[in-house]
Amino acid sequence: MSKSLIQTLRGEKSDHLAVWLMRQAGRYLPEYRVLRARAKSFLDFCLDPDLAVEATLQPIRRFDLDAAILFSDILVVPYGLGQKVWFEEGVGPLLQPIEDARELDRLETARLRLVLHPVYETLRRLREELPNDRTLIGFAGAPWTLASYMVEGGSSRDFAKAKLWAYGRPESFQKLVDVLTEAVALHLEAQVEAGAEVLQIFDSWAGALDHAALLRWSLAPIAAITERLKRSAPQVPVIVFPRGIGPGYQVFAERQVGDAISIDQGVDPVWARDMLQKHMVVQGNLDPRWLVVGGAAMRDAALRILETLGSGPLIFNLGHGVVPETPPEHVAELISTIRAWR
């Protein structure tokens, strides 16, 4: 098997369609649940190279996937900058919220690489252990999504605090975004040095912004990061995932922010074919719930995407991550369906 993911991202022909799944390492795998029980907390899990390497490799051993994505979390960046971050079972991530621009002085980019050394050690080990025909993906959260967590103190339904700061005091919010733009770039560059061959930037909450704010707080910082990576790591393609932005995907594609645009399940594949694929590679976009359903219905949903987008540059993936209640045998069935196509 050739490295079809990299070939696709570089605009080259591949011998088969590339496929990997967001959150392909996770609670739906029984072996993952056993491994997770060995860590005191989720953050400890992410920062333990022995455990993180094993978690990354588990889906590669089970399924015929083209790539392994580093087992980590987007919130290691705020943690690396000095913000208090912890995870509570049944609640999710929690952070000591930043409420004022004066608190930004506590965020130190100079300490990031030292604190996150275990993440880079995980990548170095993965580079040695991963089969040569599989691609190693590194990742980070985008500045807007990270800022949202940092200001809200966790996840949110409406991102009211973050949006009120961004909309009402844009000059000071820009300072936070600038710090995060630098931090995310540093984090991704360190991942490349450690062995990452492809990078993905997750802007999970981009869809919360209105269009003008999307351009300023999502697209602009991501574009700054990808432009920097073109200079510092020109051999490493970047996938951008500004989830939930609807027609905004077209702006990202037309401006060629990154090498590929990952789309959520709300995007019509026909629209993506007509509006996005002429500009760049498209990644996506099966609804993760089809993986829970499985069977003929799942296969039909996957084939609709393949028949629509498969004649252009495509990486098959989900519209978001694998959910915990997914039967592993359905994942195997999906991969077999993709391999058998054409």
Residue 277's alpha-carbon distances to 9, 31, 191, 269, 294, in angstroms, are 12, 37, 28, 10, 28
Q: For residue 31, give both structure tokens.
A: 């072996």
Q: Pick the catalytic residue: 10, 36, 62, 113?
A: 36
Is 27 among the catalytic positions? yes
Q: How far apart are CA 259 and CA 310, in angstroms?
A: 17
Is 299 among the catalytic positions? no
58, 29 Cβ separation under 8 angstroms: yes
Contacts of 294 (CB under 8 A, 6+ apart): 327, 329, 330, 333
Is 149 among the catalytic positions? yes
Q: Pick the catalytic residue: 66, 149, 249, 299?
A: 149
| Sequence-ordered alpha helix ranges (H) in the chain | 4-9, 30-36, 42-46, 49-62, 76-81, 112-115, 117-129, 143-152, 160-168, 170-194, 211-213, 220-232, 248-254, 269-275, 288-293, 295-309, 328-340
Q: Pick the catalytic residue: 27, 62, 124, 216?
A: 27
Q: Pick the catalytic residue: 48, 66, 73, 264?
A: 73
Reduced to 3 states, what is the DSSP secondary structure of residue 142? coil
Is 73 among the catalytic positions? yes
Q: How far apart are CA 74 and CA 342, in angstroms?
A: 36
Q: Kindly tell me the sign of the dihedral angle through the C-alpha atoms of 77, 110, 95, 210.
A: negative
Q: How far apart are CA 198 and CA 117, in angstroms?
A: 19
Q: For residue 87, give both structure tokens.
A: 């995870």
Is 28 among the catalytic positions? no
Reduced to 3 states, what is the DSSP secondary structure of residue 16? coil
Question: Which residues are the active-site residues?
Answer: 23, 27, 36, 73, 149
